[in-house]
Structure 1
Amino acid sequence: MIDYEMRRKERLADLQTAERILEKAEYGVLSTVGSDGFPYGVPLNFAYDGKKIYFHCAKNAGHKQANLDYSDKVCFTVVDNPQVIAKELTTRYGSAVVFGTAEKTENNKRYALELLAKKYAPDLPDIGKSEIEKFYSVTDIYEISIIKISAKVNR
């Protein structure tokens, strides 16, 4: 993997900032490449536990899984709290970009689903448990093992 240098060095953020952005962001965009050579970027819900990124999808189906079957290399991007400042022709934001590999997991499936439920419905643990049981058998979980993470901020 080529390690490109960030052009706007004053916006480069440290690893702790990148991790905070990953923890706070509501959704991310997963980018993959398919056997036809075309890239595919899809927004999705995710959970980050400080080590890996987890996301769910329908069991053994869809464009995302077809691409991941072809290549496990991914790029995952999140933007936290973007605010357009029209009079300055700029946007305030924090963003994190992760490069890594994604693989389907059975070992961490329940753990990941519980992380997702806790993130998106923290005040509704019973509903989260019910949904996990209801959809467990028709859901796949992927985990992204992080190779490189970078962050950029314009506050």
Structure 2
Amino acid sequence: MKKYPLSEEKIHALLTTEPVARLASAGADGFPYITPVHFVFMADKIFIHGLAAGEKLANIKRDSRVGFEVERMIGLVHDAHDPCGTNTAYESVIIRGHATMLADTAAKIAVLDAFVRKYAPQHKGGAYPDAMLKLTGIIELSIQSCTGKYYPV
């Protein structure tokens, strides 16, 4: 059992507010492939957008199992007398799940609207050109397991 588990409310808050996470997939050579991603959390799923082609998408098509990690560093915790007592105060979430590509245009637009609300709210209500929608890939991560923990200040 984790010493400092995050509550479900804190997990959802972290998944809603943090701007960058890391997605891990299995590379063709068997090595993990980890990439930083922008994401949104909605309907108890993680959505990631990017180009409709690339290594992470090829990996997901080959093996849908992925890892996802997000953290917030709160600060360093220093021991006044012991340099080995220095630690990091943080919150983190680790997710395991299965990733698929969204194909439905209406679903893609709903996810892109969520990205706009999170990252560029000044563009809310804008239209997405058809050419851009075709070049945009949306990864849907269905969560199989989710854990969160923190280290206090």
Q: 2:72·2:90 contact (CA, 8 Å) conserved in 1?
A: yes
Match of 1:106 among 103, 107, 123: 103
Structure 1 residues 42 and 75 mapped into 2: Cα distance closer, same or farther (>3 Å)? same
Is the CA contact 1:19–1:50 (under 8 Å) kept in the aligned structure 2? no
Aligned length: 144
* Conservation of the 8 A alpha-carbon contact between 1:98 and 1:148: yes
| Superposed counterparts of 1:62-141, under 5 Å | 62-87=54-79, 89-107=86-104, 108-126=107-125, 129-130=126-127, 132-133=128-129, 135-141=132-138
* Distance of 1:139 and 1:39 partners within structure 2: 24
- Determine the structure 2 residue equivalent to 1:3: none
Structure 1 residue 72 displacement after superposition: 0.4
2:39–2:48: 8 Å Cα contact kept in structure 1? yes
Contact 1:98 1:150 in 2 (8 A): yes
1:86 offset after TM fit, Å? 4.4
Q: Is 1:52 paired with 2:45? A: yes
Structure 2 unpaired stretches of 5+: 80-84
Letter of the structure 2 residue corresponding to residue 116 of structure 1: F
| 1:1-80 equivalent positions in 2, closer than 5 A | 6=1, 9-59=2-52, 61-80=53-72
Displacement of 1:85 = 3.1
Partner of 2:82: none
1:81 Cα deviation (Å)? 4.1
TM-score (norm 1): 0.84
Q: Tell me by how many angstroms 1:80 deviates.
A: 2.0
Aligned-partner Cα distance in 1 for 2:36–2:74: 16
Give the RMSD, CA atoms, in angstroms.
1.7
Identity score, percent: 28
If you compute each CA radius of gyration, which structure gives the higher value, 1 or 2? 2
Distance in 1 separating the partners of 2:133 and 2:12: 28
Q: Residue type of the partner of 1:143?
A: E
Structure 1 outlier segments of 4+, above 6 Å: none
Partner-residue secondary structure (3-state), 1:103: strand
